[in-house]
Amino acid sequence: MLPQVNAKRLAETFTTLCEIYSPSRKEGEVAAHLTALFRDELHPTAIYEDDSAARTGSDCGNLIFSFAGDPQRTPLFFNCHMDTVTPCDNVKVRFDGASFTSAGDTILGADDKAGIAMLIEMMRVLRETSTPHAPLELIFTTCEEIGLLGAKNLDYGKIKAAMGLALDSAGVDVVVVGAPAANRFTLTIRGVAAHAGLHPEQGVSAIQLASQAIAGLDLGRLDDESTANIGLISGGTATNIIPEQVLLHGEVRSHCDDKLQQYTDRIEWRFRETIDSWRDNNPGAPALPPMDWKVCKEYPSVKFDQNEPLLALLNRAATALDRPITHRISGGGSDANIFNGHGLKTAILGIGMAKVHTTDESIAINDMIRTTELIISIATS
């Protein structure tokens, strides 16, 4: 028999968290709130704030709250991010008896404060019922929404558990067991500036070169596990100047590392090939400066095989509640990608949040209770 979740307390904790202002890089207030709450009420064996703030630009570091548990059980961690997307000024939580929303002019912040509230409720329940549980670490990161910066700069040496769950996905009783790796690229195409009316033959349009290359690219869904996008483009200075430069930003994602590399290389090749053939076809034209191409590995993929011990633990925990768990593959990246890249086996658990990153964001109290029951079952399995 699992200890009972206190629904009213869970709702209050969640509301309080949502109404604390915490966009990316300004998580300090919510971090201070959590530190005081854990220190005064839940008495972790260790409270640690890392020194990532200097590198992320946040006003606080990542937080780790450690709880000693039954040494016979496998240590586990749970992770949530403390930051929210915007608009998040003066969030006012509305509750109609079933679901939480914002007043309509801001996001709600269930992404990811619903997860944080569930972890607080879990620790309260475990503590007041003295239920034996695994050694636990709760990891709260900064700057997830602006490029997983907190996770990328987390002090991994402090984490003892080798596996855990990120509470940061839609759905209930759903676990994400696969997520793609991503490359981000920046590209500068250079032409030659000239007066467009007086000396057009002295110029080469960077906009035209870029357009020719882009027209020959495969973008969007490339296959059942890969996507590509050029999301930003800028260039040119005036209508009477042949544009000298175009700047492009894009990304490639794939669940397969080889394909990620191949598709990224193919985009680079297409731009180089367009410029080379333009040179070949215009031998008398002004010389073209070289293009600039930069790729950075944004995050590695998440991939679990079916006999992963973490999934077995999850199944056991769900079975104890008489529920099935659905496995899902995601198209997005999150802190879990970075954790897995550091050797921490991290699956992503659905927490019931819906329409995230919009002012229609919502979450149902029943889904929050359900997920809290599940994580209690996981921690005590």
Q: Binding-site residue total for Zn ion (CB under 5 A)?
A: 3
Using the rule CB under 5 A, give the single segment among 68-76, 104-112, 258-266, 347-355 that binds Zn ion: 104-112
State which of residues 83, 112, 335, 361 lies at the interface with Zn ion (CB under 5 A).
112
Tokens standing for residue 299: 């995050």
Q: Which stretch binds Zn ion (CB under 5 A): 108-116, 177-185, 237-245, 266-274?
A: 108-116
Residue 104 CB coordination number (10 Å): 9
Residue 213 or residue 349: which is nearer to Zn ion going by CB?
Answer: 349
Cross-strand pairs, 253: 182, 227
User: Nearer to Zn ion by C-beta: 27 or 112?
Assistant: 112
Least Å distance between CB 371 and Zn ion? 14
Question: Segment near Zn ion (CB under 5 A), from 82-90, 112-120, 219-227, 260-268?
Answer: 112-120
- Calculate the CA 177 to chain-centre distance: 15
Choose, by CB under 5 A, the member of 111, 121, 173, 335 that binds Zn ion: 111
Crossing angle of helices 257-281 and 206-215, in 10° steps, is 130
Rounded Cα–Cα distance for residues 347 and 52 (Å): 23
CB of 52 to Zn ion, least distance (A): 18
Active site (catalytic) residues: 83, 144
CB 370 within 8 A of CB 352: yes
Nearest CA to 112 out of 34, 221, 186 is that of 34
Q: How far is the CB of 49 from Zn ion (least distance, A)?
A: 21
- Which of 381, 368, 378, 375 lies closest to 100 in space, CA to CA? 368
* Closer Cβ to Zn ion, 91 or 189, answer by number: 91
Could you tell me the smallest distance in angstroms from the CB atom of residue 112 to Zn ion?
Answer: 4
Instruction: Characterize the bridge pairing of strands 220-223 and 226-235.
Output: antiparallel
Binding flag, residue 373, Zn ion (CB under 5 A): no
Q: What are phi and psi of 277, to 5 degrees?
A: -75, -30
Site for Zn ion in 150-189 (CB under 5 A): 168
- Residue 85 Cβ vs Zn ion, minimum distance, rounded to whole Å: 9
Q: Which of residues 261-290 bind Zn ion (CB under 5 A)?
A: none
Residue closer to Zn ion (CB basis): 120 or 356? 356
Residues 6+ apart with CB under 8 A from 185: 249, 250, 251, 252, 264, 267, 268, 293, 294, 295, 296
Q: Which residues bind Zn ion (CB under 5 A)?
A: 111-112, 168
